Amino acid sequence: MMIKENKVLRLAVTGVTGRMGKSIIQRIIQTQAHQVDNKFILGAAIARDRSDICGIDAGTFVQSSKVGVFITDNIELVKGDFDVLIDFTAPESTMNYVNFCVMNNKNMVIGTTGLSKSYLSVIERASSKIGIVYSANFSVGITIMLKLLNSVSKISRYFVNIDIVESHHNKKKDIPSGTALLIRNVVEYNQFSDCVCNEDLVSNGEKKYGKLDNDIKIHSIRAGDIVGEHSVLCTSIGERLEIKHQAFNRIIFVDGALRSAVWLGCAKIGLFDLNNVLKINM
């Protein structure tokens, strides 16, 4: 289904009591109030089952002006009120929303982390029918960092150790973070992609290239209200190369998700990430 260029995109936000869900609603309402020509508006606000905030105006809930969108725990009741769903919840909830969106031809922006390989496969299959922007991190800085690592990790084999250090607030459930796992995948792929397989490193029927996977270690810290910090340390005797990204405000993830929703719209079908949205070429 094609969407007219001048149509205002109606967004549904799940997990409205969560840090990201609440922040996204606040940002949407703020944008609605201060821009004459809005690209998007809040269409639906969805809470967990039997939440005691159901029926409350979403604007009132985030301590803003009323917007006439009432929080619900039943997505079926509001399926005609939105075009794209933004989901930063939990793996099981995300799968339910993916299935709903496939059945109802709704596009999605997914920022849920801690997804298993089987859940990622569900998302990949769903993207043959709907448009999905999925990323473990929606910041511009992390997207650029991954681009840099594409080049740096090809020469990182000359260092003795490679470590990833990630820090987040003490309420974050998944350890290590999805971003840290994404960084490790990029480093491992580029570091070993042009190596000759060493048959002596066959483990559990899987051929290993160069160093074993567990040589790239992830160190996780959960403390206070840290928004997000990720560092890649390449160390050798007498020297260290470090690439680091720090997030000081959750708004960078919110803006990345909203930008992705506008870019995705109603017409695109397929699986995309923030690099597709930003079109960063390096």
Domains of the chain by residue range? 9-134+250-278, 140-247
Average pLDDT, the chain: 87
pLDDT given for residue 202 in this prediction: 32
CB-neighbour burial class of residue 194 (10 A; exposed 0-12, middle 13-18, buried 19+): exposed
Q: Write down the catalytic residue from 39, 169, 172, 211.
A: 172
DSSP bridge partners of 57:
70
Task: Show Cβ contacts of residue 27 under 8 Å, excluding neighbours closer than 6 positions.
Answer: 251, 254, 255, 258
Q: Is the pLDDT of residue 147 over 90?
A: no
Instruction: Please state the rounded mean pLDDT for residues 144-170.
Output: 86
Lowest mean pLDDT segment, chosen from 79-93, 117-131, 193-207: 193-207
230 carries an active-site annotation: no
Choose the CATH number for 9-134+250-278 among 3.40.50.920, 3.40.50.300, 3.40.50.720, 3.40.50.10490: 3.40.50.720
More confident residue, 196 or 179: 179
pLDDT given for residue 156 in this prediction: 72
Indicate whether this model's pTM tops 0.75: yes
CATH T-level assignment (fold) for domain 140-247: Dihydrodipicolinate Reductase; domain 2 (3.30.360)
Q: Is the pLDDT of residue 3 over 60?
A: no
Instruction: Please state the rounded mean pLDDT for residues 116-122.
Output: 95
d(CA 144, CA 199): 35
More confident residue, 24 or 36: 24
Nearest to 260 by CA among 123, 101, 61, 108: 108
pLDDT given for residue 215 in this prediction: 77
pLDDT given for residue 192 in this prediction: 52
Residue 162, both tokens: 């490679």
Please report, as a single letter, which amino acid is at residue 128.
Answer: S
Residue 151, both tokens: 């080049």
Per residue in 191-219, pLDDT tens? 654 433 333 333 333 333 344 344 789 99
Altogether, the residues listed in the chain come to a count of 282
The answer to whether 167 and 185 have CB atoms below 8 angstroms apart is no
Instruction: Please state the rounded mean pLDDT for residues 127-142.
Output: 96
Q: How many CA atoms lie within 13 A of 211 on its CB side?
A: 17
Please report, as a single letter, which amino acid is at residue 93.
Answer: S
Q: Is the dihedral of CA 123, 127, 129, 130 positive or negative?
A: positive
Nearest to 263 by CA among 132, 69, 122: 132
Kindly state the percentage of the chain with pLDDT values over 70.
87
Q: Write down the catalytic residue from 22, 106, 168, 230.
A: 168
pLDDT given for residue 209 in this prediction: 38
More confident residue, 152 or 4: 152
Kindly state the percentage of the chain with pLDDT values over 90.
71
Q: Is the pLDDT of residue 11 over 50?
A: yes
Q: Which helix (H) or strand (E) holds 161?
A: strand 161-168
168 carries an active-site annotation: yes
Per residue in 43-76, pLDDT tens? 999 999 999 999 999 999 999 989 999 999 999 9
Nearest to 115 by CA among 89, 143, 85, 142: 89
Torsion, Cα of 23, 27, 29, 33 (10° steps) = 150
Q: Is-cis flag, bond preceding 176, omega within 30?
A: yes
DSSP bridge partners of 131:
270
Q: At what angle do helices 251-264 and 140-152 cross, to 10 degrees?
A: 90
Nearest to 135 by CA among 25, 277, 11: 277
More confident residue, 114 or 223: 223
Instruction: Please state the rounded mean pLDDT for residues 18-29.
Output: 95
Of the chain, the end-to-end C-alpha distance in Å amounts to 33
pLDDT given for residue 160 in this prediction: 84
pLDDT given for residue 159 in this prediction: 83
